[in-house]
Amino acid sequence: MKDTYRHKGLRKKLIQEIRKKGITNERILEAMEALPRHFFLEKAFEEWAYVDKAFPIGNEQTISQPYTVAFQTQLLDPQKREKILEIGTGSGYQAAILALLGARVYTIERQELLFHRAQQLLDKLKVGNIRCFFKDGFKGMPEFAPFDKIIVTAGAKEIPEKLVKQLKIGGIMVIPVGEEAQIMLKITKVAEDKIEIEERGHFRFVPFLKGTKKEKK
Ligand code: SAH
């Protein structure tokens, strides 16, 4: 895996584009400029890594559009040492960005094949501070709860109660909710039984599905 001057140049341009679209958090832009996104796509599709679009990563799933990653991360506003749960590991790119920002990341994927690939890649890149799990994200990870923050990167039909339970008081969850298209919600847990919801624009994600899917052998 090589990160050439050409890749770095393309990445710089992509970051400028994302900045123009309204992302202002410099720490996030820096992390995205530092992380070679082309490592998260198959070699044949490398060219697409620095276009601001979602892209297929196999098994009918996608790596989120760079702007969407930046937008969700900005809403989540990760701080150093925070314990963050991600639902939908996919390629592992979003998890790596959170880790580069200093968070302690727990990430769950329901497809075994994607889980394996992401785990191997993140190990190889030595990002550190990321733990990958092959599980159904609907259940979250009660054994590691409570989390400072939770980010969901698949479109949910409704706000999953079990995940809200696993948030600290004062914690934040960023989740796209809706059937065909989704509204990005920033949820703040203000008390044990009370949440506040802010709506932050329209997006389109692959669906948040129940259960796990094993690799075919
Ligand atoms: N964050 C990813 C984008 C992933 S796309 C990235 O940076 O590349 C959404 C992912 O959510 C898909 O891989 C899909 O398989 C996964 N997913 C959907 N429902 C899930 C569930 N219940 N638990 C865990 N992962 C789920």
Identify the CATH number of the domain in which residue 146 sits. 3.40.50.150
Answer whether residue 11 is part of any domain. Answer: no
pLDDT of residue 217: 55
Q: Which residues of 80-116 are buried (b: 16+ CB within 10 A; e: fewer)?
A: eebbbbbbbbbbbbbbbbbbbbebbbbbbbbbebbbe
Answer whether residue 19 is part of any domain. Answer: no
pLDDT digits (tens, 9 = 90+) for 82-115: 999 999 999 999 999 999 999 999 999 999 999 9
Answer whether residue 133 is part of any domain. Answer: yes
Does residue 64 carry a catalytic annotation?
yes
Q: How far is the CA of 87 from the centre of ligand 1 (A)?
A: 6
Answer whether residue 14 is part of any domain. Answer: no
Number of domains present in the structure of the chain = 1
Cite the DSSP H helix spans in the chain: 5-20, 26-34, 66-76, 93-100, 112-125, 161-165
Find the distance separating the first CA and the last CA of the chain, reported in whole Å: 27
Rounded Cα gap, residues 145 and 135, in angstroms: 15
Contact 105, 130 (CB under 8 A): yes
Answer whether residue 46 is part of any domain. Answer: no
* Cβ of residue 90 lying under 6 Å from some atom of ligand 1: yes
* Cβ of residue 93 lying under 6 Å from some atom of ligand 1: yes
- Give residue 111's domain range: 64-203
Residues in the chain where the model's pLDDT stays below 50: none
Answer whether residue 16 is part of any domain. Answer: no
133, β-bridge pairs: 108
pTM: 0.97
* Cβ of residue 88 lying under 6 Å from some atom of ligand 1: yes
pLDDT of residue 112: 97
pLDDT of residue 60: 87
Cite the DSSP H helix spans in 77-175: 93-100, 112-125, 161-165
Answer whether residue 91 is part of any domain. Answer: yes
Answer whether residue 97 is part of any domain. Answer: yes
